[in-house]
Amino acid sequence: MSQCRIMAMSMLLFLSSLGALAQNVKDGNYTAKKIQVYSTNAKALPSFIPLEIGEIKPTGWLKDWATDAANGITGHLDEYVDVFKHGWKGYGFKALGVNEDGTGWPIEQCSYWLDGGVKLAYILNDTSLIRKTSSRLNMVINGVLNGGESFIYWKPKSVADDWFNNWGHGLMGRALVSYYQATHDPKIMQALQKVYHSFTIRAPQDTIEYMPRGATNIDAMTETYLMSGDKTILDKIVAYSKINGIITEENRWFNKRIIARDFNHGVTFYETLRVPAMMYPWTGNAKELYASQNVLEWGEKQNLLPVGICSSQEFLAGIGSFRDIETCNVPTSMWSFLWMMRLTGERNWGDRIEKIFFNAAPAPISRDFKTMCYFQTLNRFSSKLPVEIPGPKDDFKYTNQGCEVLCCVGNCNNIIPDYISSMWMATMDDGLAATLYGPCKVAKQVKNEKVTINCNTTYPFGDQINMTFSMAKAINMPIYLRIPGWCNHPSIKVNGKEVAMKTEKGFVKIARTWKSNDNIQLHFPMTVRIQKGRETPYPRQTDYFVTAGYKENVSDTTIHNPYECITYGPLLFSFPIPDLNPNQESANTKFNYALDVDPKNISKQITVIKKSLTGKWLWQLDAPIQLKVKAKQFDWNPTPSQPLPATPVKDGGEATIDLVPYGCTKFRVTMFPVTEKSWDSFKTLK
């Protein structure tokens, strides 16, 4: 097919999708259809069903951030890098990791960008971004409908037998699902059904490949089945769960016999851990759900950093202030946790997502969303410390494409729209659940009535959330409200009257007849908490370290440095090292402080300073919440091999330091040295 013909057909499809979107807003209730499919065919019902793309709109500070993304990397990435300019067009081009036929790395990298871009486009009703992302996705749709055997439409179906192309294929499936959920254009569903009706999920090929990333085609297959009711697609998901290699691996996960070498890559860890749980609704085998939870527990026990994500210097790398987090794992962890929340209805998944989104998400992206970096670390003292590990060049440098490996710059575009589109979800009893918090407006058809809820808040920078209802007719329905696990004394009022705090799985259910101007007031008082721990040696994947060139880290087996971190509500706090820009710290800033706080008497040693959140939000250092903390200033010169003092600090001059939210910083101290007084007080704390 000629390129001109493809482009012409793409424009026609683009225009039809705008019409389809208008029709959807007017009279569609696609969520109810998914609930019906689950109710009819699932052996284990999920708790929540995500709403359609565009039914939740950001407001306040969250809209500021989303708009900057659309005006920055998300809206212009194809203008910066050839991979995003040419990816999925059906031909080869010169770039790192690109095969002569256009497969390889861009299959992954460009899918990330298109998925995040099309979601954000319709969330914001950004016509320029709609046109840009839909024109590229329409090429894939037209390619499939005009004879393509898979989403890699210009190649025979066997191209997806390659594990990496199979993985990229699943990511394109996600992007097309997002496109359909935003527009409900029937041609998108035709393409999804055509491909997944005959698609076989790639099975493990040997004992080392425990759960191939291509298994995440199940994401799009599940959604395609829910939206189409095509039973053949469900049969393929169930058939995959019965493969001997998958059963063997799931049994190991269920029995907590997890092989460290299986998870030598952070993205693989976060992407594949959810796969067994996603099959659980259709098989009814609870072992699959527990298998996913056990893998996560195993990884976090050895690698979880205070920012809410496991270290992932490509590989899982233990606990430490200089251990890197690959930016891909911000949206990837959020995505798996969103699925787990959908399936279980448990609040802890929402707590995890918020911790990541409010802290780890803004750190590797510039305040205007025009540059980003491949890795973040909890402590970043300067442009030279921490040092880069062997591998991709300029790991910590902020540019409009990150480093030379382009997965992270593509994937970072999913962070904001994935959060926004999951702030509210439907429930199986025709209700709505507030699953994640922040300023937003949700408009959803429930029981054939349109319900609009405005959520006015500065959360997480404030502890009050005010929800106001609007509808033409009164409607009886349940509302579920997530109570954050970190909040000790929450309160809920409906029209000014206190509501009893009876929770199930961390949610409060309020079932009543709602009418326009009804109001819910949530109060989630925040408290300061101190977390203590020790840095750990690099983990056990010695074979991967050596083959990847990390020989100098294999011998790092003795590190056991003590540290403390401070949180306030869902926010992690850091000592900020002012920056001239994300790549250059201000000169001569002293950061040689150890925390000197008795955890039994926090309120007298840590002062919370609150200011109004005014003007445009830019994750500025002049944050609306700051902490004044008791500390000791001491002689300290961190090095790559000794990032924190090996023992608690004995001497030093008294000081008070000002901390700001981690997400507002580009250079910082977050995992602090600790004084003997503070460390010893933990030992006697009951």
For the stretch 281-294, pLDDT in tens is 999 999 999 999 99
Domain range for residue 586?
A: 564-684
Same domain, 500 and 575: no
7, pLDDT greater than 80: no
685, pLDDT greater than 70: no
The DSSP element (H or E) to which 656 belongs, if any, is strand 653-661
Listed residues 523, 552, 574: the one ending a domain: 523
- The answer to whether residue 594 is domain-embedded is yes
The highest-confidence range among 208-212, 549-553, 603-607, 618-622, by mean pLDDT, is 618-622
Torsional sign, CA 336, 338, 339, 345? positive
The pLDDT of residue 539? 57
599, pLDDT greater than 90: no
Same domain, 678 and 578: yes
Same domain, 510 and 445: yes
249, pLDDT greater than 90: no
The pLDDT of residue 233? 97
- The answer to whether residue 436 is domain-embedded is yes
Percent of the chain with pLDDT over 90: 82
Query: Tokens 């609870």 sit at which residue?
Result: 286
Q: How far is the first Cα of the chain from the last one, in angstroms, to the nearest whole number?
A: 72
Instruction: Return mean pLDDT, the chain.
Output: 91
The length of the chain is: 686
Same domain, 487 and 574: no
pLDDT band for position 544 (50/70/90)? very low
- The answer to whether residue 297 is domain-embedded is no
Listed residues 474, 493, 523: the one ending a domain: 523
Q: Average pLDDT in the 218-238 region? A: 97
- The answer to whether residue 485 is domain-embedded is yes
- The answer to whether residue 49 is domain-embedded is no
The pLDDT of residue 8? 40
- The answer to whether residue 452 is domain-embedded is yes
Q: Give the chain's domain count.
A: 2
The pLDDT of residue 547? 45
21, pLDDT greater than 50: no
**Residue 25, Cβ density class (10 Å: 0-12 exposed, 13-18 middle, ≥19 buried):** middle
Same domain, 599 and 672: yes
Higher pLDDT, 232 or 539: 232
671, pLDDT greater than 50: yes
The pLDDT of residue 248? 87
The domain that holds 492 is classified in CATH as: 2.60.40.1180
Summarize pLDDT for 413-426 with one digit per residue, the tens: 999 999 999 999 99
Same domain, 583 and 657: yes
Question: For residue 343, which of 600, 543, 44, 551 has the smallest C-alpha distance?
Answer: 44
Least confident of 99-113, 512-526, 554-568: 554-568
- The answer to whether residue 667 is domain-embedded is yes
Same domain, 575 and 679: yes
The pLDDT of residue 541? 47
Q: Average pLDDT in the 401-416 region? A: 97
Same domain, 489 and 589: no
- The answer to whether residue 608 is domain-embedded is yes
Question: For residue 386, which of 64, 67, 669, 660 has the smallest C-alpha distance?
Answer: 669
- Contact (CB, 8 A) for 410 and 382: no
Q: How many CB atoms lie within 10 A of CB 655?
A: 16
Q: Average pLDDT in the 592-614 region? A: 94
pTM: 0.94
Same domain, 590 and 487: no
The pLDDT of residue 5? 42
Same domain, 614 and 502: no
683 Cβ neighbours under 8 A, 6+ residues apart: none
Q: Average pLDDT in the 274-282 region? A: 97
Summarize pLDDT for 156-204 with one digit per residue, the tens: 999 998 889 999 999 999 999 999 999 999 999 999 999 999 998 877 7
Same domain, 595 and 517: no
270 Cβ neighbours under 8 A, 6+ residues apart: 310, 312, 329, 332, 333, 335, 336
